[in-house]
Amino acid sequence: MYADPRRRPVTFFVAERVYLKVSSWKGVIRFGKREKLAPRYIGPFNIRQILNDQTMVLDLPVELAGIHDTFNICYLRKCKVDDESQILPLQDLKVEMNKKLVKQPVRIVDRKVTKLRKKQIPMVLVEWKHSLGSNLTWETEELMKARYPQLFDLDQIPRTESS
């Protein structure tokens, strides 16, 4: 009675291509906030074996060796597009054991100081690796220095004033 009457059961076949969900239902959390355009699925991967109607075994590459290769179908999505530009590259990709994608900063592009009523907050524009959407975000300089001090070793970008 409470189920969606328009929902259709999902069926998978051996050697079918699927995407793997890397952000669990808790979400991808970075600096205490949720990023809207973070990649939620990686792949595509081939199904190697079907254990039952809810469990599949995938052919995972060497980059994802730390993750078990057996997944429930709730973590899989059928690959309907064969366009290679939509596929997230797996080089230097890091996925934690709880299936969360670890994003890595590449470099600092710009700096600015945001003025509030009684204080000034130094901000940095960071370019991130493995983003399909906009890969530039403004982050506070204090948090970035605490988490990624290697970005500030060779950093010589001047500050710009903004309000």
pLDDT in tens, 126-163: 888 765 555 788 889 998 888 888 888 765 555 555 55
Per the domain annotation, does 6 fall within a domain? no
d(CA 78, CA 80): 6
Per the domain annotation, does 12 fall within a domain? no
Q: Is 116 found in the same domain as 98?
A: no
Q: Is 93 found in the same domain as 35?
A: yes
Q: Is 125 found in the same domain as 91?
A: no
- The answer to whether 99 and 21 are in contact (CB under 8 A) is yes
Of residues 89 and 149, which shows the higher confidence score?
149
d(CA 43, CA 50): 18
**pLDDT at res. 28:** 40
Question: Which domain, by its residues, includes 145?
Answer: 104-162
- The answer to whether 111 and 123 are in contact (CB under 8 A) is yes
114 has pLDDT over 60: yes
Per the domain annotation, does 108 fall within a domain? yes
Per the domain annotation, does 54 fall within a domain? yes
* Residue at which a domain ends, from 65, 83, 102: 102
